[in-house]
Amino acid sequence: MNYRHGFHAGNFADVLKHLALCELLRLLTAKGKKLFVLDTHAGAGGYDLGGALAGRTREAAGGVARLLAAPRSGMPAVAARYLAAVSAYDRKFGSAGVLRHYPGSPRIIRAALRAGDRFVACELHPQDAVALRREFAGDRTVDVREEDGYHALKALLPPLERRGLILIDPPFEAPDEFEHLARALRQGLRRFATGCYAVWYPVKDQAAVDEFLRAFAGLKLLNVELRVPPPAPGKLAACGLLVINPPWKFAEAMNEALPWVTGQLGPGVSTSLSSPTA
């Protein structure tokens, strides 16, 4: 396991994933009923953008930093809420002005939960698991587990709450990650068909992406993709988020936010929104 999310914190892929995650959480916590959240590949929880990893790549400069520099007028509410979540995390460190600390998915999730909601975060990398434990030390709402997130899909679903959001955000280091992911997702859906699943994927091999999406066509889906001009040869330039069982109004919210996000990320950036069917 070599992947460290710290190298990529706040980049264009995080912008897509975390903006959508904020909106999913908002819609799913709008109802009174309790919510269970599982983050199968949680990462370190939060990232120092000036630290040893993110400070080396500076990927946030082409991602969240561009959105933060945008004028507030004309900013869609979805984007404003995402940026408010980012800034609120940064402020905990006493930062002022330039963004220095970026929240990972566990921090974004935790900030949206209500009393009585439950959150399990799995992370396998030993250093990131330690960081994640430290991030939530003493917080009884967050159950940090140094275990295989794919296994958690079998072990923890269906949740007692019967309402759940499952974020699956693998590192795609292994050549068979799509197959592994599809198998685990099928198992999760068999156990908990009504859960809302948000699955991040890189677009490097279009045929592999198409095959993955085809495997779930026929379900209630919304697929969002974001493409940027290649940052450097061989670097990731496109990614997607497949949302199974999206909450009511989620598509509308993404439709409103994505053109604005595209515009802020710069020339040559594009987004697409589709509902793949069988």
Ligand X SMILES: C[S@@+](CC[C@H](N)C(=O)[O-])C[C@H]1O[C@@H](n2cnc3c(N)ncnc32)[C@H](O)[C@@H]1O
Contacts of ligand X in 187-246 (CB under 6 A): none
143 is catalytic: no
Q: Which of these segments, 50-58, 116-124, 219-227, 251-259, binds ligand X (CB under 6 A)?
A: 116-124
Looking at this protein, which amino acid is placed at residue 97? G
Binding string, residues 2-21; x marks residues near ligand X by CB under 6 A: -x-x-----------x----
Single out the catalytic residue among 48, 169, 176, 205.
169
Nearest approach in angstroms of CB 14 to ligand X is 6
Among 16, 20, 42, 165, binds ligand X (CB under 6 A): 42
- For residues 126 to 145, the per-residue mask of contacts with ligand X, x marking binding by CB under 6 A and - elsewhere, is --x-----------------
Can you tell me the distance from the alpha carbon of 48 to that of 43, in angstroms, rounded to the nearest whole number?
Answer: 13
Which range touches ligand X (CB under 6 A), out of 54-62, 146-154, 216-224, 252-260?
146-154
Query: Which span (148-156, 158-166, 241-249, 258-266) binds ligand X, by CB under 6 A?
Result: 148-156
Q: Which amino acid is at 123?
A: E
159-to-39, 97, 166, 253 alpha-carbon distances in Å: 13, 41, 11, 27
CB of 148 to ligand X, least distance (A): 4
Q: Which of 48, 143, 148, 179 binds ligand X (CB under 6 A)?
A: 148
Q: What is the dihedral of CA 30, 36, 38, 44, to 10 degrees?
A: 70
Tell me if 105 contacts ligand X by CB under 6 A: yes
In this structure, are strands 238-244 and 221-227 parallel, antiparallel, or unpaired? antiparallel
Number of residues that bind ligand X (CB under 6 A): 21
Which tokens hold the place of 154? 């079998």
Asked if residues 219 and 245 have their Cβ atoms less than 8 Å apart, the reply is yes
Q: Provide the minimum distance between the beta carbon of 267 and ligand X in the complex, in angstroms, as a whole number.
A: 26
CB-side neighbour CA atoms (13 Å) of 195 = 29
Spatial distance between the Cα atoms of 199 and 166, rounded to a whole number of angstroms: 8
| Cα dihedral 22, 171, 177, 126 sign | negative
Query: Which residues does the annotation mark as catalytic?
Result: 169
